[in-house]
Amino acid sequence: MAELIQQQIQQLVKTLNDYNYQYYVLDNPSVPDAEYDRLMRELKQLESQYPDWVQADSPSNKVGGQALKAFTQVEHKLPMLSLENAFSAEDMLAFNQRLLDRLTTVSQVAFCCEPKLDGLAVSLMYENGLLVQAATRGDGKIGEDITENVKTIRSIPLSLRGELNVDFPQVLEVRGEVFMPKQGFASLNQNQKASGQKQFANPRNAAAGSLRQLDSKITASRPLAFYAYSIGYVEDVNGLMSQSHYGRMEQLKAFGLPMNPEVRKVQGGEACDDYYETIAAKRDNLSYEIDGIVFKVDDIAQQQQLGFVAKAPRWAIARKFPAQEEITILNDVEFQVGRTGAVTPVARLEPVFVGGVTVSNATLHNADEIARLAVKIGDSVVIRRAGDVIPQIVSVVKERRPDDAKEIEYPTSCPVCDSALQQVEGEAVIRCSAGLYCQAQLKESLKHFVSRKAFNIDGLGDKLIDALVDKAMVKTPADLFTLEQFDVACMDRMGQKSAAKLIQALADGKKTTLPKFIYSLGIREVGEATALNLAQHFLTLGAIQAANEEQLLEVSDVGEVVAAHVVKFFKEPYNQEVVSALLDLGIHWPAIEKPNEADLILEGQTFVLTGTLSSMGRNDAKAILQGLGAKVSGSVSAKTDCLVAGEKAGSKLTKAQSLGVKVWTEDDMLAFFNDNNVG
């Protein structure tokens, strides 16, 4: 027994030291933080139970990793420590109680609350107001000299604002986090992918890897940012620095250092919990990754009274958010066939709680992605789920690969209809060649056909469509309109009442609009906007069906790919049959009037819509603007002529303002519509 525990401790120490090396030295961790934290807690638990067996090289009371030899080493004047972690409200209560036990004279502690940025700590040494040295944390005592690299980060001032010895002290060490904003991270990874280079697992590794470059030109090309969060060593003969941590943050801001705008000072533990909840709710909308909240005792005298333990201050704690990355097992890979025949590998996972939900499936995208991950069935994989984004497999933990791990085999024929698969050159996707003869494609097409923006048929859910196709009651979209109440009522979970409702909905659905009809056909690459443009350009279905590629290219937003798909679609005899069957069954729409040239008052102008409009949906506003000849685009650029900003407009509004793009409120837009008798 004893020996077993000792072995367990040794094993944990070895594993965690390996993980530290991968994380801190190589900037390339193999397991998610949640897994590391679990193993660390296990080790600490064993060490406190069996103090005689604590190993000399235990990571439980060490900070970070070793400084890379390739850099000049910097000895920190004051150690750069880590933080104690809290994982729950109970942990926070215990922390608050520990503080109150030690600070016997106070009944409530004031805290400074700060988002815990997921980047890496750096020390910036300012002497007489000039930045003379920048260093990484390293092992807490010795870091790496990264002065030249840090100087390439635009938001870090090379000199402080204000007057020496009046505003700022003669020596001031500023500490803070260098991080990579989410958007910068996404575009960096896109570039890495395009140039065939390794992609980074997350923004933290990307930031660390970018900062610890021997060539500062590479660092300069990376989108790094910085927020200050404390001070280290100071020579301050005039006693300029505040005795409140929050006060110091305000001072640093006045000296020109970037400060996180979310930082707040609050009183007592409950206010800390409120702050935690508030930021947690905002987390997905922040432009940078955070993995928790840091709570710091605000009063510097109290901080000094509390002091430090081996690797962290007693006066601060990091409360971590639930993990967005977890580790689990890939049990199997199944292949799904989509509406356009694309065959997509779907990962079946051992269920795991991540990003606030239990995840048991993740998309694997295509064969290229499987090759990039080099994943096998049976592997331990890292799953990421952030916000509402669908879960992704980000990496494979190679050292945990079991001996019987199986290669993922791509099917050689359609897994649903057994027809041949085709791969278009230059595309990663593989498609079933059978079109609507393939039941999977038929089901997905029908789901699209009845969806909200197409025929909008209430009461025709995915399960019912699957069943109707399986029972061969529906073979084409036209068959939906020949269904009878009696047939539908016999289906699972349907009764006479819901069947009657559905038949009525189908009858009502026969009246539609031309753009919706075009959209519902599910022609590849023809979305709502393109369908609308096609309808407005050609005015009748017949004209669209008869158009050749050249004529189609005249439609705004229609390029060669779309034109080819449209022509191909209407050439297909099967599609021609379905379209005429639909028309024979009474599908109809009001005629579109040709807009007067003189009515196209917004011709050549690009509009962007953002925020919530109270008087109409964004799609309606878009249609009216397009009717006046405007292009409506999704993103603001220098080419944008006007941004319509509704309620709660966010980053697009800021961007438009910074580019000097004209901005309309919803009222401005309505007034314009009114003046021009539209809307």
Q: Site residues (CB under 5 A) for Zn ion?
A: 414, 416-417, 419, 432, 434, 438
Question: Of 593, 581, 648, 596, nearest to 618 (Cα)?
Answer: 648
Question: Of 241, 211, 238, 237, nearest to 224 (Cα)?
Answer: 211
Active site residue 594: no
Cβ of residue 63: shortest distance to ligand NAD, in angstroms? 6
CB neighbours of 434 closer than 8 A, spacing ≥ 6? 341, 414, 417, 419, 441
Q: Rounded CA gap, 416 and 336, in Å?
A: 8
Q: Which tokens hold the place of 679?
A: 């809307």
- Which CB atom, from 16 or from 636, has the smaller least distance to ligand NAD? 16
- Rule CB under 6 A: say whether 137 interacts with ligand NAD: yes
- Which CB atom, from 398 or from 639, has the smaller least distance to ligand NAD? 398
- Rule CB under 6 A: say whether 82 interacts with ligand NAD: yes
- Rule CB under 6 A: say whether 64 interacts with ligand NAD: yes
Q: List the single partner that 36 binds among Zn ion, ligand NAD, none, CB under 5 to 8 Å by kind.
A: ligand NAD
Whose tokens are 């390029």? That residue is: 559
Q: Rounded CA gap, 586 and 507, in Å?
A: 9
- Rule CB under 6 A: say whether 226 interacts with ligand NAD: no
Cβ of residue 263: shortest distance to ligand NAD, in angstroms? 8
Q: Rounded CA gap, 320 and 291, in Å?
A: 6
When binding is defined by CB under 6 A, the residue of 12, 31, 109, 642 that contacts ligand NAD is 31
DSSP-derived secondary structure for 482-529: T--HHHHHTSTT--HHHHHHHHHHHHHHTB--HHHHHHHTT-TT--HH
Burial of 49 (0-12, 13-18, 19+ CB in 10 A): exposed
- Which CB atom, from 23 or from 315, has the smaller least distance to ligand NAD? 23
Cβ of residue 444: shortest distance to Zn ion, in angstroms? 11
Q: List the single partner that 177 binds among Zn ion, ligand NAD, none, CB under 5 to 8 Å by kind.
A: ligand NAD
33 is in an annotated binding site: yes
36 is in an annotated binding site: yes
Q: Which tokens hold the place of 584?
A: 């024979």
Whose tokens are 């439980």? That residue is: 60
- Which CB atom, from 20 or from 96, has the smaller least distance to ligand NAD? 20
Catalytic residue (one of 14, 62, 69, 116): 116
- Which CB atom, from 23 or from 275, has the smaller least distance to ligand NAD? 23
- Rule CB under 6 A: say whether 202 interacts with ligand NAD: no
Interface positions, 274-333, toward ligand NAD (CB under 6 A):
294, 318
Question: Of 442, 429, 462, nearest to 574 (Cα)?
Answer: 442
35 is in an annotated binding site: yes
**Alpha-carbon distances, residue 170 vs 122, 134, 163, 374 (angstroms):** 20, 17, 10, 54
Q: Rounded CA gap, 587 and 592, in Å?
A: 15
Whose tokens are 């970018």? That residue is: 210
475 is in an annotated binding site: no
- Rule CB under 6 A: say whether 23 interacts with ligand NAD: yes
Q: Which tokens hold the place of 596?
A: 């007067």
Helix (H) or strand (E) holding 236: none
How many chain residues interact with ligand NAD (CB under 6 A)?
25
Q: Rounded CA gap, 36 and 64, in Å?
A: 13
Single out the segment in contact with ligand NAD by CB under 6 A; choices: 27-35, 212-220, 302-310, 519-527. 27-35
Cβ of residue 415: shortest distance to Zn ion, in angstroms? 8
When binding is defined by CB under 6 A, the residue of 9, 13, 20, 621 that contacts ligand NAD is 20
**Amino acid at residue number 28:** N
Q: List the single partner that 117 binds among Zn ion, ligand NAD, none, CB under 5 to 8 Å by kind.
A: ligand NAD
- Rule CB under 6 A: say whether 177 interacts with ligand NAD: yes
Q: List the single partner that 20 binds among ligand NAD, Zn ion, none, CB under 5 to 8 Å by kind.
A: ligand NAD
Query: How far is Cα of residue 405 from the mean position of the Cα atoms in its chain?
Result: 30
Residue 652 in contact with residue 636, Cβ under 8 Å? yes
568 is in an annotated binding site: no
Q: Rounded CA gap, 552 and 566, in Å?
A: 8
44 is in an annotated binding site: no
320 is in an annotated binding site: yes
Single out the segment in contact with ligand NAD by CB under 6 A; choices: 111-119, 330-338, 476-484, 621-629. 111-119
- Rule CB under 6 A: say whether 37 interacts with ligand NAD: yes
Per DSSP, the chain holds a count of helices (H) and strands (E) of: 25, 22
Q: List the single partner that 417 binds among ligand NAD, Zn ion, none, CB under 5 to 8 Å by kind.
A: Zn ion
Q: List the single partner that 137 binds among Zn ion, ligand NAD, none, CB under 5 to 8 Å by kind.
A: ligand NAD
Question: Of 359, 383, 222, 202, nearest to 289 (Cα)?
Answer: 202
Burial of 634 (0-12, 13-18, 19+ CB in 10 A): exposed
275 is in an annotated binding site: no
- Which CB atom, from 236 or from 466, has the smaller least distance to Zn ion? 466
Q: Rounded CA gap, 380 and 396, in Å?
A: 6
DSSP-derived secondary structure for 174-236: EEEEEE--HHHHHHHHHHHHHTTPPPPSSHHHHHHHHHS-SSHHHHHTS--EEEEEEEEEEE-
Q: Where are the beta strands (DSSP E) in 579-646?
A: 606-610, 631-633, 642-645
Cβ of residue 117: shortest distance to ligand NAD, in angstroms? 4
114 is in an annotated binding site: yes
Single out the segment in contact with ligand NAD by CB under 6 A; choices: 16-24, 144-152, 383-391, 579-587. 16-24
Cβ of residue 435: shortest distance to Zn ion, in angstroms? 9
When binding is defined by CB under 6 A, the residue of 43, 46, 113, 121 that contacts ligand NAD is 121
Q: Rounded CA gap, 185 and 181, in Å?
A: 6
When binding is defined by CB under 6 A, the residue of 86, 113, 117, 523 that contacts ligand NAD is 117
Whose tokens are 């104690």? That residue is: 84
- Which CB atom, from 36 or from 126, has the smaller least distance to ligand NAD? 36
Single out the segment in contact with ligand NAD by CB under 6 A; choices: 20-28, 101-109, 428-436, 582-590. 20-28
C-alpha torsion angle, residues 160, 162, 163, 168 (rounded to 10): -60
Length reported for the chain: 679
34 is in an annotated binding site: yes
Residue 528 in contact with residue 619, Cβ under 8 Å? yes
83 is in an annotated binding site: yes
Cβ of residue 119: shortest distance to Zn ion, in angstroms? 47
Annotated binding site for NAD(+): 33-37, 82-83, 114, 137, 177, 296, 320
- Catalytically active residues are 116
- Per the annotation, binding residues for Zn(2+) are 414, 417, 438
Report the interface residues with ligand NAD, using CB under 6 A. 19-20, 22-23, 29, 31-33, 36-37, 63-64, 82-83, 85, 114, 116-117, 120-121, 137, 177, 229, 294, 318
Binding site, annotated residues: 33-37, 82-83, 114, 137, 177, 296, 320, 414, 417, 438
